[in-house]
């Protein structure tokens, strides 16, 4: 029988995007990175599932590497007792171009 660990790492981040009312927001929060379940954040503002958000690390070793990274909001869990919205994050990748590149 193998032992499975669910190691979690926490990072201070700034997250920005558009909420469900289509208002731009910026929040500071902790990103939790679970070894088996991926990345999650808790936000005061609700976002739509599938919406684009940008995450920027606030504690970089080198400030020049602290650029925003695009994620898609996965599962959005509603607040309980006026707590934050729990949102899973899915990394977005650039689309590949098909065919010849036109300039």
Give per-residue pLDDT as tens, 12-59: 999 999 999 999 999 999 999 998 889 999 999 999 999 999 999 997
CATH numbers and ranges of domains, the chain? 8-91 (2.40.10)
DSSP class per residue in the chain: -PPP---EEEEEEEEEEE-TTS-EEEEEEEEEEETTTEEEEEESS---TT-EEEEEESS-SSGGG---EEEEEEEEEPPSTT-PEEEEEEE--PPPP-SPPP-
The whole-model pTM stands at: 0.78
Residue 1: which pLDDT band, with cuts at 50, 70 and 90? very low
Mean pLDDT along residues 72-80: 90
pLDDT of res. 78 = 86
């Amino acid at each position: 029988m193998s032992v499975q660990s669910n190691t979690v790492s926490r990072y201070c981040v700034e997250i920005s995007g558009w909420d469900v009312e289509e208002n731009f927001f910026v929040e500071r929060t902790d990103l939790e990175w679970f070894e088996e379940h991926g990345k999650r954040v808790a936000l005061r503002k609700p976002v739509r599932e599938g919406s684009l958000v940008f995450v920027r690390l606030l504690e970089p070793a080198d400030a020049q590497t602290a650029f925003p990274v695009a994620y898609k909001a996965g599962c959005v869990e509603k607040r309980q007792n006026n707590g934050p919205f729990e949102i899973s994050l899915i990394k977005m990748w650039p689309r590949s171009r098909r065919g010849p590149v036109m300039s």
